Structure 1
Amino acid sequence: MLAFLGLLTIVLLLLLVITKKASPIVALILIPIFTGILAGFRGELAEMIGEGLKSIAPTGIMFVFAILFFGVLMDAGTFKPIISRLLRFAGNDPVKIAVATAVLAMLVHLDGSGAVTFLVVIPAMVPIYDQMGMRRITLASIVALSAGTMNILPWGGPTIRAATALNVPVTDLFNPIILPVLGGLVAVILISVYFGKKEKIYLKPQTLVVQGEGSSGGKEQEDLMRPKLFYVNIFLIISAILALIAGWAPPYVIFMVAFVIAISINYPKVEDQKKRIDAHAKEAMLMASILFAAGCFTGILKGTGMIDAMALTVEQILPEQVGRQLPLLTGLVSMPASLLFDPDSFYFGILPLLASTAETFQVSGIEVGQAAIMGQMTTGFAVSPLTGSTFLLIGLAGVDLGEHQMKTIPWALLVTLIILILSILTGVISI
């Protein structure tokens, strides 16, 4: 009975979220409460929800302050000198332009927002591609691959969701795959070099004038710039990332402290600080609310025993050899799964079942989570029709969705496979 109700919970979540009959927040809260009552746990639901919220609180706090931290540094123009130098480096060479596009997208995506990345990178690079005679589809593909691979970062949406669903520290999930992810980023650079060489046949006999500053954001944006604090802000970013990887403190502590330092140095006036927080509050709170709703979902599924019951049922059906290869199989299908499942339905509905099933075969559930973030809404997020960011990308670049998918999907799958293979070679994913 519990296995059936668990399956019903997941199926209802998938149906409501994918068909957009309910928002992820509503579905994540109401559906498990409904099935929990059917399972006879009416009196215990509040305690289960409380336990789920306790487990998710550190991750939710980390995400909020990570968004605020990187948002403040973006406002201060921390990356503007880097962007300027990248554009000057690109010059009239299609290969350098392609590489500069990839590096720029990776840098801007440090804040984990696909929308911000596309809004900054695409308008800055479109005039250059047009004047050089390079195809915009190449621009869209490079940006998609770069932002997608960077989306595996600890504060990226998919990794945050995976850690939440598995109830593990985000550093436990991400740190072991640092080298494979770096390998994936190198692969994106090499793919950009290949794209740049291919673009030479489309060149027009024009001379490119690179201003190197990108489009102006108006007087208000200029007033926010803090060019004299460039090196201080870069030091803050490097220090926060190193502290996160080294595990010197819990991630939420690192980003809380980093944010406070960043906003105090760049915007010492209280009124300015309030405005900067307000500017990024919508994005931070939207994701945080989804995470806390997921705490309700996972708390009930685990507290009622539905997850364990489903895992035991699958164990009885699944051949042992297949069960032991669940991390590998998850990695192989993770990128194509971006075309079928939105991140909330996959990470909160599918992943816990896969991880619990793997553990019944004496395989680490964390490995399943690590394999999932190698493609599901990471390398695959900017080609998925289930995310608004994809349509923002193709809209800004002026390309067709089908054309973008045909060009980008094979390369996104290749990057995922490279990360997966490197993870196997380094012993992170067992086979």
Structure 2
Amino acid sequence: MLAILGFLTIGVFLYSIISKRLSVIVALVFIPIVFGLIGGFGLDLGDHMLEGIQLVAPTGVMLGFAILFFGVMSNAGMFDPILSRILKIVKGDPLKVVIGTLIFAMIAHLDGSGASTFLIVIPALLPLYDRLGMSRLVLAGVVGLGAGLMNIMPWGGPTARAGTAIGIDPGAIFIPLLPSMFVGFLWLLFVAYYLGKKERARVGIQSIEYDVTTDQTEEQIQMKRPKLFLVNVLVTILALATLVLQWLPLPVVFIIAFVVALLINYPNPKEQMNQVQLQAAGMVPVLSIIFAAGIFTGILTGTGMIEAMAVALVNIIPEQIGGSLPALIAIISMPLSLVFNPDAYYFGVMPILAQSAEMYGVPSIEVAQASVLGQMTVGFPLSPLTASTFLLIGLAQVELGDHQRFMFKWAFLTTLIMSAFALLTGVISAW
């Protein structure tokens, strides 16, 4: 009975958000409460919800302050000299342009937001691509691949959701995957080289200069702090090193980094509050979903629904493949981006898979790591289930079908290569 109730909760949740009957935040809170009441848990739901919120609080803090920190650094102009230098190096060589596009996209995606990455990169590079006669599909595809790889970062949506759903620090999921990400980066450099060679053969090398900073508004220019460029780079490197080496907990790293960034770049209290307000539009929806997800997972876990569903799945899954779940999930993780949006998968599907894997002696963290190798990371820039995809193709002025046909094979191969390396290094299990 409890398993049936759990599957109904997940089913109604998936239906409500895929069909857009409810917003994600409303569905995450309302649906589990309704089914919890139907199951007779009554006043116990309050305790379960609070436990879930407490579980996700560190992740929420980390995400919020990561958005604030990278937003301040972007407003201060830390990325501008790096990106301008890239464009000066590539000049009119399509091969260098495509490789520069990949690096540009990866740097821009340090804040973990697909929308901001596409808004920064595509308008800056589209005139250059058009002037050289290069393919807009290459522009959209390479930007998507670079952003997708960087979306595995612990403050990116999928890794944070994965950690939230199973109660594990996103950093613990991310750090063992760093070697696989590096291999993925090398592979994407090869892809960019291959595509760039094809574009060079098609349109040739031309003499041209282009500067990414020319389209900035007067307000954006006034917020720049070019004299503090090296200081901001050092602060960012120190923050990222502290994160990777785990000298401090992730939420603490970004709280301190954000405060330091404000003190250095905007010592005036009014400017400091203005920077917070500028990032609020991007920060509030993310935090709302994270804490709503805490209620969702808190109820499903506290009532025992997840455990009951896992037992039911274990009885169905052949014992011979039970221990291979992480490997199987890794292989299909990228295509799953076309079927499930991140909230549906990480809060609805993955916890059941993780619990099922544990019953075969496989740690749930491996299911999370297998999932983030493709599901709404490498796969998000071509999924029709995320608004960022339509922003990307809209800015690049390409058709969704053409974009998907062009990008799918490269995205899928990227996931397969990273998955193979994760298997070889023992991060995820094959049996």
* Aligned-pair CA distance for 1:212: 2.5
Aligned partners of 2:216 and 2:88: how far apart in 1?
Answer: 20
Matching residue's letter, 2:235: L
CA contact (8 A) 1:151 1:158 kept: yes
Residue number in structure 2 paired with 1:123: 123
CA contact (8 A) 1:131 1:208 kept: no
1:366 paired with 2:365, answer yes
CA contact (8 A) 2:161 2:347 kept: yes
SS of structure 2 residue aligned to 1:413? helix
* Aligned-pair CA distance for 1:177: 0.6
Aligned partners of 1:359 and 1:200: how far apart in 2?
Answer: 50
1:311 paired with 2:310, answer yes
1:267 paired with 2:266, answer yes
CA contact (8 A) 1:423 1:429 kept: yes
Aligned partners of 2:263 and 2:216: how far apart in 1?
Answer: 23
SS of structure 2 residue aligned to 1:197? helix
* Aligned-pair CA distance for 1:217: 1.5
CA contact (8 A) 1:132 1:208 kept: no
1:179 paired with 2:179, answer yes
Matching residue's letter, 2:357: A
Residue number in structure 1 paired with 2:63: 63
* Aligned-pair CA distance for 1:208: 3.9
Cα-to-partner distance string for 1:229-257 (whole Å, 9 max, x where unaligned): 11111111111111111111110000000
CA contact (8 A) 1:87 1:97 kept: yes
Instruction: Structure 2 unaligned segments of length 5 or more: list them.
Output: none
Cα-to-partner distance string for 1:114-166 (whole Å, 9 max, x where unaligned): 11111111111111111111111111110010000110001000000000001
Deviates more, 1:131-140 or 1:250-259: 131-140
Matching residue's letter, 2:195: F
TM alignment of 1:231-270, pairs within 5 A: 231-270=230-269
Aligned partners of 2:207 and 2:13: how far apart in 1?
Answer: 51
Instruction: Structure 1 unaligned segments of length 5 or more: list them.
Output: none
SS of structure 1 residue aligned to 2:214? coil
Q: Closer, same or farther in 2 for the Cα pair 1:12/1:215, shift >3 Å?
A: farther
**TM-score scaled by length of structure 2:** 0.98
Cα-to-partner distance string for 1:340-368 (whole Å, 9 max, x where unaligned): 11100110000000000000111111000
Aligned partners of 2:383 and 2:213: how far apart in 1?
Answer: 28
Aligned partners of 2:194 and 2:411: how far apart in 1?
Answer: 14
TM alignment of 1:161-200, pairs within 5 A: 161-200=161-200
SS of structure 1 residue aligned to 2:212? coil
Residue number in structure 1 paired with 2:349: 350
Aligned partners of 2:37 and 2:259: how far apart in 1?
Answer: 43
Matching residue's letter, 2:178: I
* Aligned-pair CA distance for 1:26: 0.3
CA contact (8 A) 1:128 1:208 kept: no
* Aligned-pair CA distance for 1:204: 6.0
**TM-score scaled by length of structure 1:** 0.98
TM alignment of 1:349-428, pairs within 5 A: 349-428=348-427
CA contact (8 A) 1:135 1:202 kept: no
Aligned partners of 1:162 and 1:210: how far apart in 2?
Answer: 43
Residue number in structure 2 paired with 1:327: 326
Cα-to-partner distance string for 1:206-240 (whole Å, 9 max, x where unaligned): x4422323432221111000001111111111111
Deviates more, 1:53-62 or 1:118-127: 118-127
Aligned partners of 2:26 and 2:175: how far apart in 1?
Answer: 32
Aligned partners of 2:49 and 2:185: how far apart in 1?
Answer: 38
CA contact (8 A) 2:91 2:210 kept: no
Matching residue's letter, 2:397: G
Aligned partners of 2:396 and 2:202: how far apart in 1?
Answer: 17
Aligned partners of 2:214 and 2:137: how far apart in 1?
Answer: 21
* Aligned-pair CA distance for 1:54: 0.5
Residue number in structure 2 paired with 1:31: 31
CA contact (8 A) 2:93 2:204 kept: no
TM alignment of 1:128-167, pairs within 5 A: 128-167=128-167
Residue number in structure 2 paired with 1:45: 45
Which consecutive aligned stretches of 4+ in structure 1 deviate over 4 angstroms post-superposition? none
SS of structure 1 residue aligned to 2:215? coil
Cα-to-partner distance string for 1:148-193 (whole Å, 9 max, x where unaligned): 0110001000000000001001111111111101111121111000
Q: How many residues align?
A: 430
Q: Closer, same or farther in 2 for the Cα pair 1:386/1:208, shift >3 Å?
A: farther
* Aligned-pair CA distance for 1:201: 3.2
Matching residue's letter, 1:235: L
Matching residue's letter, 1:413: F
Aligned partners of 1:78 and 1:407: how far apart in 2?
Answer: 32
Aligned partners of 2:201 and 2:176: how far apart in 1?
Answer: 41
CA contact (8 A) 2:56 2:164 kept: yes
Matching residue's letter, 1:400: E
Matching residue's letter, 1:89: I
Residue number in structure 1 paired with 2:299: 300
Matching residue's letter, 1:107: I
Residue number in structure 2 paired with 1:93: 93
Residue number in structure 1 paired with 2:11: 11
Aligned partners of 1:303 and 1:68: how far apart in 2?
Answer: 33
Aligned-residue identity in percent? 49
Cα-to-partner distance string for 1:80-100 (whole Å, 9 max, x where unaligned): 000111001102211111000
Aligned partners of 1:413 and 1:215: how far apart in 2?
Answer: 36
